[in-house]
């Protein structure tokens, strides 16, 4: 058996983390075992599961520029102590140009930098991230990216067009998201929305997800379809701002003698498993400012959901014909009108019947694509084992 180190910011319930865990659950652990290296102070959602599967979670100090020497020393100490990895797979590309060369010098056969996002945070943090990534292509053995946009953003246009970056779309267990009426009824009953038109969104509360605009779209859509509710699955540091935005929109509606909005927005928090929530939705709305390859949009398609997403997102995410794109240059009213035209005028029962009808064909299409986790497990198994030879 060989061991592979996965480097992430945390083991919380995020997109990159969930996709790595999907691979981990399905890979043959008699042949390949994963360990995880994350930032200190980030006890994660998946820690207990990782230990149960035979892996270990290790920590490093969070990189803050001022602790550059301390961070490098901690990385060196880690690889001096842990000398048996066949590969180090770095999903935290902000500091990969630091830890991957150290791993290589310590004797790790294969170092991988894996781009998971096509953008950076605004302000100084984003500038720092770009600076740290500047020479990353020269400091790793392999470059992976979850999409064409992520590849260009992190590794540069030239490396992408020269074929030096392998695009590996975020894969899921597609059968988990097959149409399931029992799951649908359970969630809709739990939240008291049995007869409502449910707009769904799944994503952490982060600047990239554009939740403020999401709420503005729903505010305008509510004027077109009063029985609508918005269910947001996720959590994060921006939750107070999201709650404040709900309050702001609600007050504006009251002053305009419109129906209240507050009771029609459901914040579920982070959920695992998440697949029952896709069953409860009637349509999926995802107006992100930037993404690498949003697994949530892939999950929505596997659940036979129609989706309206921002055109900032790579076209590679469109596996089925159920995805519609819209530009963020349009205002919330135009987005609401587009959302209504896609599906919003249909009775909820008709929407569900169409999903049931389409389910078999969509499941077949998804299972044969690169978005199915089983297909990717074979690739990674071969990659890691060849590195250990």
List, for residues 335-383, the tens digit of each pLDDT value: 999 999 987 788 999 999 999 999 999 999 888 888 888 888 999 999 9
Two domains, one topology: 2-171+372-388 and 174-367: yes
Compute the distance between CA of residue 102 and CA of residue 96 in angstroms, rounded to an integer. 10
Inform me whether the pLDDT recorded for 17 exceeds 80: yes
Q: How confident is the model at residue 122 (pLDDT cuts 50, 70, 90)?
A: low
Compute and round to an integer the Cα radius of gyration of the chain: 22
Mean pLDDT score of the chain, rounded to an integer? 92
Contact 34, 26 (CB under 8 A): no
Distances 235 to 125, 242, 267, 279 between C-alpha atoms, Å: 21, 10, 8, 20
pTM of the entire predicted model: 0.74
Residue-wise pLDDT tens digits, 289-332: 988 778 899 999 999 999 999 999 988 889 899 999 999 999 99
Which one, of 101, 94, 104, lies nearest residue 127 by Cα? 94
Domain boundaries, the chain: 2-171+372-388, 174-367
User: For 174-367, CATH number?
Assistant: 3.40.50.2000
- Rounded Cα–Cα distance for residues 177 and 172 (Å): 9
CATH H-level, domain 2-171+372-388: superfamily: Glycogen Phosphorylase B; (3.40.50.2000)
Q: Of all helices (H) and strands (E), which one includes residue 133?
A: helix 123-133
Helices assigned H by DSSP within 67-122: 68-81, 96-105
**Contact in structure between 287 and 303 (CB atoms under 8 Å):** no
Confidence of residue 202 (pLDDT cuts 50, 70, 90): very high
Q: Quick check: 382 and 321 in contact, CB under 8 A?
A: no
pLDDT per residue over 47-69, tens digit each? Answer: 999 999 999 999 999 998 899 99
What is the mean pLDDT of the segment spanning 86-95? 95
144: β partners: 114, 166
Percent of the chain whose pLDDT exceeds 70: 97
């Amino acid at each position: 058996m060989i061991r592979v180190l996965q480097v992430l910011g945390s083991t919380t319930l995020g997109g990159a983390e969930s996709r790595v865990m999907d691979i981990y659950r399905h890979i043959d652990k008699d042949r390949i075992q994963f360990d995880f290296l994350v930032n200190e102070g980030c006890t994660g959602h998946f820690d207990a599961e990782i230990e149960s599967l035979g892996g270990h979670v290790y920590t490093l100090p969070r990189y803050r520029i001022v602790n550059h020497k301390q961070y490098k020393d901690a990385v060196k100490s880690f690889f001096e102590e842990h000398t048996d990895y066949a590969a180090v797979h770095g999903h935290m590309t902000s500091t990969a140009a630091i830890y991957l060369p150290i791993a290589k010098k310590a004797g790790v056969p294969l170092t991988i930098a894996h781009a998971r996002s096509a953008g950076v945070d605004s302000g100084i943090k984003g500038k720092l991230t770009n600076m740290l990534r500047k020479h990353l292509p020269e400091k790793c053995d392999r470059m992976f990216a979850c999409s064409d946009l992520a590849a260009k953003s992190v590794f540069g246009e030239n490396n992408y067009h020269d074929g030096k970056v392998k695009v590996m779309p975020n894969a899921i267990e597609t059968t988990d998201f097959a149409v399931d009426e029992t799951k649908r009824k359970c969630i809709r009953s739990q939240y008291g929305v049995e007869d409502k038109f449910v707009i769904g969104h799944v994503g952490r509360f982060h600047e990239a997800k554009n939740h403020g605009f999401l709420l503005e779209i729903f505010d305008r859509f509510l004027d077109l379809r009063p029985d609508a509710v918005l269910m947001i699955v996720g959590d994060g540091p921006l939750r107070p701002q999201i709650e404040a935005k709900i309050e702001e929109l609600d007050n504006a509606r009251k002053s305009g003698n419109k129906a209240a909005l507050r009771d029609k927005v459901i914040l579920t928090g982070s959920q695992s498993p998440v697949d029952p929530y896709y069953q409860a939705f009637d349509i999926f709305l995802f107006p992100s400012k930037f993404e690498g390859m949003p697994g949530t949009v892939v999950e929505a398609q596997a659940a036979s959901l129609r989706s309206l997403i921002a055109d900032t997102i790579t076209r590679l995410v469109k596996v089925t014909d159920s995805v519609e794109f819209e530009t963020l240059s349009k205002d919330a009213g135009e987005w609401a009108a587009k959302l209504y035209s896609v599906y919003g005028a249909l009775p909820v029962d008709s929407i569900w019947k169409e999903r049931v009808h389409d389910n078999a064909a969509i499941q077949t299409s998804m299972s044969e694509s690169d978005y199915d986790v089983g297909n990717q497990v074979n690739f990674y198994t071969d990659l890691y084992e060849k590195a250990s030879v």
